[in-house]
Amino acid sequence: MKEQYHREITFQALNEYFCSDALETVIAANLGQDALHYQIGHDYIHYDSNSFTAGNAYCKELRLSTIAALQNADTLAARESLGRLTHTVQDFYAHSNYVALWRETYPGASSDKIEPELDELLSDARLHSGRLYYPLEAFSFIAALKPYVMPLLPKDSHAWMNIDDPSRPDFEYAFTVAVKQTDMEYFRLVGQLSAQEVALLTGNKN
């Protein structure tokens, strides 16, 4: 997902629960996952190159670190861990063919019906994510060069598979399911926190 859509997804999912300052910290950490130094050698952060096992382990680690930070009253660390988590789970839907498999399973269903974490799709042998074919892939990130690079890249490349803006097929579905997953992650976390810890995380004291 491009930056503006990561921001919109996270805001839409969490705005109801967080004060504005707390949510901005979460969003900033989310967007920080796309820093240049996280683009090479960190496939698990974005679920790239079929790194599903490593990506899932990373998400589990971030859930635990968010809880641990709150237990130590480290509000900033907790919000940053949650922000990193939201980015990765959102990327799963933008960088894999989960949405395509869901639409195949439920033909004609509207985007508001799509559900995250369906076991039948997560266990489908056809599930895969875009591979990064460096160094050629790097040129696809440059808008002026992208039209020339795309025909040279395989169809399973990140450039072809990434659902990163409304120009891409099924963007509405990927956006919607990412919002649902982000909301699910929040409630998965809250279920393990005390009321005081939830207040620390969200910045809402009432």
Average pLDDT for 157-162: 92
The reported pLDDT for the residue numbered 37 is 67
Average pLDDT for 180-201: 96
Question: Are 136 and 159 within 8 A, CB to CB?
Answer: no
The reported pLDDT for the residue numbered 38 is 67
**CA distance linking residue 185 with residue 43, whole number of Å:** 21
Q: Per-residue pLDDT for 183 more than 90?
A: yes
Average pLDDT for 192-204: 94
Give the percent of the chain with pLDDT over 70.
98
The reported pLDDT for the residue numbered 104 is 97
Which residue type sits at 160? W
CA distances from 41 to 51, 109, 185 (A): 11, 37, 25
* CA nearest neighbour of 24 among 202, 205, 206: 202
The reported pLDDT for the residue numbered 42 is 84
CA distances from 139 to 131, 143, 147, 149, 191 (A): 14, 8, 10, 7, 43
- For residue range 85-114, what is the model confidence (pLDDT) as tens digits? 999 999 999 999 999 999 999 999 999 999
- For residue range 14-40, what is the model confidence (pLDDT) as tens digits? 999 999 999 999 999 999 998 766 677
Question: Are 116 and 173 within 8 A, CB to CB?
Answer: no
- For residue range 35-88, what is the model confidence (pLDDT) as tens digits? 766 677 789 999 999 999 999 999 999 999 999 999 999 999 999 999 999 999
Tell me which DSSP letter residue 141 carries: G
* CA nearest neighbour of 49 among 156, 150, 170, 149: 156
pLDDT bucket at 205, cuts 50 / 70 / 90? low
In whole numbers, what is the pLDDT of the chain averaged over residues? 94
The reported pLDDT for the residue numbered 40 is 72
Q: Per-residue pLDDT for 177 more than 70?
A: yes
Assign residue 203 a region (left: φ > 0; alpha: ψ between -120 and 50; beta: otherwise): left
